[in-house]
Amino acid sequence: MEKRYVAIWFPYLATDWLELRKPELKNSAFVFSAPSHGRMVITAVNLHAQKLLINTGMVLADARAIYPALQYFDDRPGLTNKLLNKIAEWCIRFTPFVAIDTPDGIILDATGCSHLWGSEDAYVSDIINRLQSNGYQAKAAMAASIGAAWAIARFGSAPVVDKEKQVTALLSLPVEALRVEQSTVDRLHNLGLNLIKDVVPLPSTSLRRRFGALILQRLNQLLGKEQEFIQPITPIEPYQVRLPCLEPVARIEGIEMALQTLIEQLCGRMQKEGKGLRTAVFRGYRIDSHTVEISISTSRASCNVSHLFHLFQMKWSTFEPDLGIELFVLEATQVEDYTPAQEGFWKESAALNDAPIAELIDRLSGRIHPDAIQRYLPMEHYLPERSFKKAASLSEQPITEWKINKPRPVLLLEIPEQIEVTAPIPDYPPMNFRYKGKLHKVVKADGPERIEQEWWIEEGEHRDYYAVEDEQGCRYWLFRAGHYDQEKKTDWFMHGFFA
pLDDT of residue 346: 33
Condensed to tens digits (0 to 9), the pLDDT of residues 132-180 reads: 999 999 999 999 999 999 999 999 988 999 988 999 999 999 999 999 9
For residue 287, name the pLDDT band (cuts at 50, 70, 90): confident
Identify which has the larger pLDDT, 373 or 163.
163
pLDDT at 187 over 50: yes
CA distance 175 to 183: 12
Lowest mean pLDDT among 309-313, 340-344, 383-387: 340-344
For residue 423, name the pLDDT band (cuts at 50, 70, 90): low
Of 418, 387, 424, the residue nearest 403 (C-alpha): 387
Please state the separation of Cα 419 from the chain's center in Å. Answer: 45
Condensed to tens digits (0 to 9), the pLDDT of residues 430-466 reads: 889 999 989 999 999 988 899 988 888 888 889 999 9
CA distance 208 to 218: 12
Average pLDDT value for residue range 246-250? 88
Condensed to tens digits (0 to 9), the pLDDT of residues 102-127 reads: 999 999 999 988 888 989 999 999 99
Lowest mean pLDDT among 342-346, 348-352, 422-426: 342-346
For residue 372, name the pLDDT band (cuts at 50, 70, 90): low
pLDDT of residue 343: 37
pLDDT at 7 over 60: yes
Tally Cβ neighbours within 10 Å of residue 443.
12
What are φ and ψ of residue 240, in 5° steps?
Answer: -140, 135
pLDDT of residue 425: 73
pLDDT of residue 344: 42
pLDDT of residue 354: 60
Of 478, 476, 479, the residue nearest 461 (C-alpha): 479
Residue 492 contacts residue 434 (beta carbons within 8 Å) = no
For residue 394, name the pLDDT band (cuts at 50, 70, 90): low
Q: Checking phi first, is residue 473 left (phi over 0); if not, alpha (psi -120 to 50) or beta?
A: left
Of 124, 126, 114, 170, the residue nearest 147 (C-alpha): 170
- Average pLDDT, whole number, for the chain? 88
Lowest mean pLDDT among 14-18, 282-286, 480-484: 480-484
Helix, coil or strand: residue 420: strand
30-36 and 71-74: which strand pairing? parallel
pLDDT of residue 116: 83
What is the share, in percent, of the chain residues with pLDDT greater than 90?
58
Lowest mean pLDDT among 259-273, 288-302, 334-348, 411-425: 334-348
pLDDT of residue 284: 93
pLDDT at 220 over 80: yes
CA distance 242 to 463: 57
Average pLDDT value for residue range 345-368? 57
CA distance 364 to 34: 57
Beta bridge partners of 335: 277
Q: Residue 276: exposed, middle, or buried by beta-carbon count in 10 A (0-12, 13-18, 19+)?
A: buried
Residue 488 contacts residue 402 (beta carbons within 8 Å) = no
Tell me how long the chain is: 499
Of 122, 120, 85, 116, the residue nearest 101 (C-alpha): 85
pLDDT at 224 over 90: no
Identify which has the larger pLDDT, 429 or 340.
429
Quote the longest CA-to-CA distance of the chain.
Answer: 103
pLDDT of residue 339: 65
pLDDT of residue 374: 74
Q: Assign domain 5-155 one CATH number from 3.60.21.10, 3.40.50.80, 3.40.50.10790, 3.40.1170.60.
A: 3.40.1170.60
pLDDT of residue 459: 83
For residue 368, name the pLDDT band (cuts at 50, 70, 90): low
For residue 348, name the pLDDT band (cuts at 50, 70, 90): very low
pLDDT of residue 358: 67
Tell me, what amino acid is at 39? Answer: R
- In what order do the strands lie in the sheet containing 30-36? 39-45, 30-36, 71-74
Lowest mean pLDDT among 196-210, 287-301, 339-353, 447-461: 339-353
Question: Per-domain residue ranges for the chain?
Answer: 5-155, 240-355, 411-497
Q: Which CATH superfamily is domain 240-355 in?
A: DNA polymerase, Y-family, little finger domain (3.30.1490.100)
